[in-house]
């Protein structure tokens, strides 16, 4: 593509570095980010799974001893049916009660309707309508129904050392056999765990572990233990896997048993305390996470909420636990990815800073290489343009560039020397086309130009050679610059004469007009030189110019050892003849009829005569060039007097062509009357008179 062909070295190196480095850098950042994100996700999932397994194991470890105690209490009833029929059981219940602070009460209900219980007491909670005695921590409670008597509910309050502090009683209709825990255990005929509920007297969520006992296959009663789940929420809070993690223990209906944020998970509904469903909590996140859970299976899943991504786990307790409770864990991925993201940001910032530093270093380093190379490229460009100014040598500490600089200096000197002997147009064409210089030529319609100094032989005898050399050199320099300015080609210098042509090697549509412009510029330039020489009291130099258009052979003529880019043909002779004819009419610029045909509408000329050229049978009409139109120099335009002289000369020439010599003579005399110094009219009148 052309866009890459013209790029400069320094920007191209910087661009290449950026193009190669930036994608690699961002690829590394992307791969690092994705890798860290994958590691963070895996780590989060592993932590959630580990926490889930540990929590389930710990909950079972807490519950299994309670279940064992319930089974032990039932076993005592199996072996000693009358043990629970007396107050002996209270102290046994006390030993079970102190086994764990989570146990609220231990009790037994018998088939005869009696009920015995050892329970914890909250001194700030009323019992039977009044506060218990100060210092009360435990209480023995019993209900012994008797036929025909009112059933009483007895409380005996004890301190931490089981010393009696007081007692209370009140009538009751309480019958353990009608209670759910009793009926459920009796129906199950084995230990059972009740659904979680709110212990109204304590304001705590708990459940009951109950086990029936038998005698001779007959149900004797049910031993039960009430256990609070208050510690479960604290357990979940203490073992959070991250700062943003929340976890909940749910029952089989999705009601919240315990929460790691220790929030209130029950509410008063129509005078009854009931557990809240997970979707009814004040925090909307659990509800959203619960609704996003997969219905077909349990386990880990991810979801997004408010632009944040979370990992969640919903796992049911093992079947041997006895209840389909579920551990619900929600953790934000940001808790695990934030450190990686911060590291990625630091890596990106550090990478960008390092890249910027590299760009600066490469910018200066490439400057060391590119700056001399760019100056050398500029110098080569000037060599191709054949510029005349002398550019300084390029110095570089890099050896290869230094060698290249010396080679280009040598090339510059060689091209300048070459172009001094070979037409500049040809040199330019060779440099641009990269063609080899070979012998050969071709025919082309060109404009040939000859110039010569009038009276040079006589002057060379009168003027000192050094002075003559300087003045001729000034003239030749003027001709050379003017020809080059008008895109002509200097063929050769012939003593004081110059041969040039237009239309080769580069094609020119207006080659005839350009040669005429060059001729007019040369004459104006010579006028300026003569004024300077006149001021120096030196004789003036007069230049005669002949111009002709014709088809000639142009190309490299000579041998392989030495050749010349020149033109050959009859047209060259005609141009040379025209230059010499100026001497006969005392004119300065003569052009042929072919020149007039090519550019006549842009030239101011007057017809002179028809001349004979050696080798040609027919005569050649010739014209004096008096001005040009359309040049960038107004001084080359003909003046009104010049235009009138040209018009009068055309009228006289028409009479001459018609061989009306009398009319022609009269008209030439009219020209002399108006322009007494006109050499053409004077010469032609003399010829007419002599004829």
DSSP state of 324: -
Which run of H or of E encompasses 409? helix 399-421
Short-list 618, 612, 599, CA closest to 547? 599
Which residues partner with 273 through β-bridges?
268
Q: CA end-to-end span of the chain, whole Å?
A: 75
Q: CA distances (Å), 625 to each of 380, 587, 593, in order?
A: 41, 9, 11
What are the tokens at 456?
Answer: 């040079």
Contact 552, 489 (CB under 8 A): no
**Sequence-ordered strand ranges (E) for 148-217:** 152-158, 164-171, 192-193, 197-199, 204-215
Burial of residue 432 (number of CB atoms within 10 Å: 0-12, 13-18, 19+): exposed
- Residue linked to tokens 């959070």: 240
- Phi–psi pair at 507, nearest 5 degrees: -70, 140
Handedness of CA 157, 162, 164, 169 (dihedral sign): positive
- Residue linked to tokens 């110039």: 451
Task: Establish whether the linkage from the previous residue to 505 is cis, with ω within 30° of 0.
Answer: yes
What are the tokens at 289?
Answer: 């996470």
Cα-only R_g, the chain: 62
Short-list 3, 97, 98, CA closest to 107? 97
What are the tokens at 531?
Answer: 């004024």
Contact 275, 205 (CB under 8 A): yes
Q: Would residue 179 be called left, alpha or beta, if left means φ above 0 and alpha means ψ between -120 and 50 degrees?
A: beta
Q: What is the reported pLDDT for 627?
A: 95
Short-list 20, 3, 11, 19, CA closest to 371? 11
CA atoms of 38 and 425, how far apart (whole Å):
71
Where the chain has pLDDT below 70, the residues are: 1-10, 198-204, 230, 270-273, 383-389, 414-438, 614-615, 691
Q: What is the reported pLDDT for 543?
A: 96
Contact 191, 207 (CB under 8 A): no
Q: Would residue 569 be called left, alpha or beta, if left means φ above 0 and alpha means ψ between -120 and 50 degrees?
A: left
On the CB side of 637, CA atoms within 13 Å amount to 8
Contact 521, 482 (CB under 8 A): yes
Altogether, the residues listed in the chain come to a count of: 691
Short-list 334, 278, 325, 279, CA closest to 55? 325
CA atoms of 256 and 274, how far apart (whole Å):
10
Q: Which distant-in-sequence residues (6+ apart) come within 8 Å of 681 by Cβ? A: 649, 652, 668, 669, 671, 672, 675
What are the tokens at 389?
Answer: 């100014």
Alpha helices in 546-657 (DSSP H): 570-585, 593-599, 640-657
CA atoms of 345 and 337, how far apart (whole Å):
12
Residue range 553-605, pLDDT digits in tens: 998 888 877 778 889 999 999 999 999 999 999 999 999 999 999 998 999 99
What are the tokens at 400?
Answer: 């290869």
Q: Which distant-in-sequence residues (6+ apart) come within 8 Å of 157 by Cβ? A: 121, 132, 133, 136, 138, 139, 164, 165, 166, 167, 168
Contact 585, 680 (CB under 8 A): yes
Q: What is the reported pLDDT for 388?
A: 65
Helix (H, G, I), strand (E, B) or coil at 135: coil
Q: What is the CATH number of domain 437-638?
A: 3.30.70.1230
What are the tokens at 433?
Answer: 């086309």
CA atoms of 517 and 521, how far apart (whole Å):
6
Q: What is the reported pLDDT for 434?
A: 54
What are the tokens at 640?
Answer: 């009104």
Q: How do the domains of the chain map onto residue ranges?
A: 2-60+337-369, 437-638
Contact 447, 511 (CB under 8 A): yes
CA atoms of 262 and 237, how far apart (whole Å):
7
State how beta strands 589-592 and 543-558 pair. parallel
């Amino acid at each position: 593509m052309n866009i890459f062909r013209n790029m400069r070295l320094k920007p191209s190196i910087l661009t290449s570095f950026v193009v190669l480095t930036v994608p690699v850098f961002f690829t590394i950042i992307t791969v690092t980010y994705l890798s860290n994100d994958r590691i963070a996700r895996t780590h989060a999932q592993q932590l959630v799974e580990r926490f889930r397994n540990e929590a389930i194991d710990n909950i079972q470890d807490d519950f299994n001893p309670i279940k064992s105690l319930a089974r032990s209490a039932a076993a005592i009833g199996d072996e000693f049916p009358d043990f629970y029929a007396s107050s002996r059981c209270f102290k046994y219940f006390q030993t079970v009660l102190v086994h764990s602070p989570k146990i609220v009460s231990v009790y037994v209900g018998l088939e005869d309707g009696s009920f015995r219980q050892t329970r914890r007491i909250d001194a700030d909670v009323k019992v039977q309508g009044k506060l218990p005695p100060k210092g009360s921590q435990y209480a023995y409670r019993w209900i012994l129904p008797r036929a025909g008597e009112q059933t009483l509910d007895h409380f005996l309050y004890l301190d931490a050392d089981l010393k009696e502090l007081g007692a209370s009683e009140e009538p009751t209709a309480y019958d353990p056999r009608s209670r759910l825990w009793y009926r459920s255990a009796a129906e199950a005929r084995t230990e059972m765990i009740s659904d979680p509920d709110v212990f109204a007297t304590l304001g705590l969520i708990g459940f009951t572990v109950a086990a029936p006992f038998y005698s001779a296959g007959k149900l004797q009663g049910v031993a039960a233990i009430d256990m609070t789940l208050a510690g479960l929420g604290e357990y979940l809070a203490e073992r959070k896997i991250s700062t943003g993690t929340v976890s909940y223990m749910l029952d089989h209906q999705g009601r919240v048993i315990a929460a790691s944020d220790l929030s209130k998970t029950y509410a008063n509904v129509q005078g009854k305390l009931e557990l809240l469903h997970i979707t009814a909590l004040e925090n909307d996140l659990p509800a959203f996470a619960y609704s996003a859970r997969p219905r077909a299976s349990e386990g880990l899943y991810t979801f997004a909420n408010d632009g944040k991504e979370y990992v969640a786990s919903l796992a049911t307790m093992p079947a041997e636990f006895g209840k389909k409770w579920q551990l619900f864990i929600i953790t934000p991925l940001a808790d695990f990815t934030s450190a990686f993201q911060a590291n990625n940001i630091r890596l990106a910032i550090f990478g960008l800073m390092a890249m910027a530093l590299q760009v600066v270093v490469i910018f200066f380093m490439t400057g060391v290489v590119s700056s001399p190379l760019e100056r050398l490229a500029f110098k080569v460009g000037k060599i191709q343009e054949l510029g005349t100014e002398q550019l300084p040598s390029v110095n570089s500490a890099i050896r290869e560039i230094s060698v290249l600089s010396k080679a280009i200096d040598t090339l510059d000197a060689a091209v300048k020397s070459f172009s001094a002997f070979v037409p500049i147009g040809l040199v330019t064409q060779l440099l641009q086309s990269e063609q080899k210089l070979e012998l050969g030529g071709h025919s082309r319609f060109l404009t040939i130009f000859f110039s010569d100094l009038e009276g040079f032989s006589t002057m060379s005898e009168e003027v000192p050679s050094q002075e003559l050399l300087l003045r001729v050199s000034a003239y030749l320099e003027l001709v050379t610059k003017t020809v080059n300015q008008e895109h002509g080609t200097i063929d050769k210098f012939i003593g004081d004469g110059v041969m040039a042509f237009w239309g080769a090697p580069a094609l020119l549509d207006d080659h005839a007009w350009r040669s005429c412009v060059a001729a007019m510029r040369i004459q104006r330039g010579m006028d300026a030189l003569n004024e300077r020489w006149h001021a120096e009291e030196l004789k003036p130099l007069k230049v005669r110019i002949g111009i002709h258009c014709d088809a000639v052979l142009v190309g490299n003529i000579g041998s392989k050892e030495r050749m010349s880019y020149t033109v050959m043909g009859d047209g060259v002779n005609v141009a040379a003849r025209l230059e010499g004819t100026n001497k006969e009419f005392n004119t300065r610029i003569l052009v042929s009829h072919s020149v007039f045909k090519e550019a006549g509408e842009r030239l101011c000329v007057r017809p002179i005569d028809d001349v004979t050229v050696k080798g040609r049978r027919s005569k050649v009409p010739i014209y004096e060039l008096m001005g040009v139109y359309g040049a960038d120099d107004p001084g080359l335009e003909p003046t009104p007097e010049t235009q009138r002289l040209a018009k009068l000369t055309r009228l006289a020439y028409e009479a001459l062509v018609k061989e009306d010599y009398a009319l022609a003579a009269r008209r030439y005399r009219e020209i002399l009357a108006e322009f007494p110094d006109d050499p053409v009219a004077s010469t032609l009148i003399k010829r007419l008179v002599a004829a």
